[in-house]
C-alpha cells in the first residue's frame, strides 16, 4: 500500500491508500464495497469510511479519518467483490501529540 504520513491528535480529512500487490497498483474497479478496519491504541476496533478515489482501476482508496488519539494504530482495507472478500495487509502507523 501507500507510504505512511505523519498524523497528530486532532488531524482530520482523508488519507489516500493504494491497493498494491508486489509493488503494482491493483485494479479494484469491480469491488462492490470497501471499508477500512481500524485497530485503535487501546486495542478496540472501529470502521472508517472508504471509497474508490476514481473508477478503481488505479487501486486508489480515500479513507476518511476518524477521531485520532495518541499511540500506535493499525488499518486494514476490506474489499468486497461479487464472489469474494479480500483484505489488505495491515498497516501500522503512529499518532503523535499536537502542541496545542
Query: With 60 as the cut, is the pLDDT of residue 3 above it?
Result: no
Query: With 60 as the cut, is the pLDDT of residue 14 above it?
Result: yes
Report pLDDT for 54. 94
C-alpha of 74 from chain center: 9
Q: pLDDT for 75-93, tens place per residue?
A: 999 999 999 999 999 999 9
Is pTM beyond 0.85? Reply is yes
With a CB cutoff of 8 Å and minimum separation 6, the contacts of 33 are 78, 79, 80
- Confidence tier at 4 by pLDDT (50, 70, 90): low
The ranges assigned to domains in the chain are 17-94
Q: pLDDT for 17-69, tens place per residue?
A: 999 988 899 999 999 999 999 999 999 999 999 999 999 999 999 999 999 99
Report pLDDT for 6. 81
Residues 38-75 as b/e (b if ≥16 CB within 10 A, e otherwise) read bbbeeeeeeeeebebbeebebbbbbbebeebeeeebeb
* Lookup result for grid cell 482495507: 77
**Rg of the Cα trace of the chain?**
14
CA distance 43 to 71: 11
17-94 CATH fold: Immunoglobulin-like (2.60.40)
Amino acid at each position: 500500500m501507500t507510504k505512511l504520513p505523519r498524523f497528530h491528535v486532532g488531524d482530520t480529512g482523508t488519507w489516500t491508500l493504494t491497493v498494491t500487490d508486489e509493488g503494482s497498483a491493483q485494479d479494484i474497479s469491480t469491488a462492490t464495497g470497501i471499508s477500512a478496519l481500524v485497530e485503535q491504541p487501546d486495542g478496540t476496533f472501529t470502521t472508517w469510511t472508504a471509497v474508490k478515489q476514481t473508477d478503481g482501476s488505479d487501486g486508489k482508496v480515500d479513507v476518511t479519518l476518524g477521531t485520532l488519539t495518541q499511540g500506535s494504530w493499525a488499518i486494514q482495507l476490506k474489499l468486497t467483490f461479487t464472489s469474494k472478500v479480500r483484505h489488505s495487509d495491515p498497516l501500522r502507523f503512529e499518532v503523535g501529540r499536537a502542541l496545542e
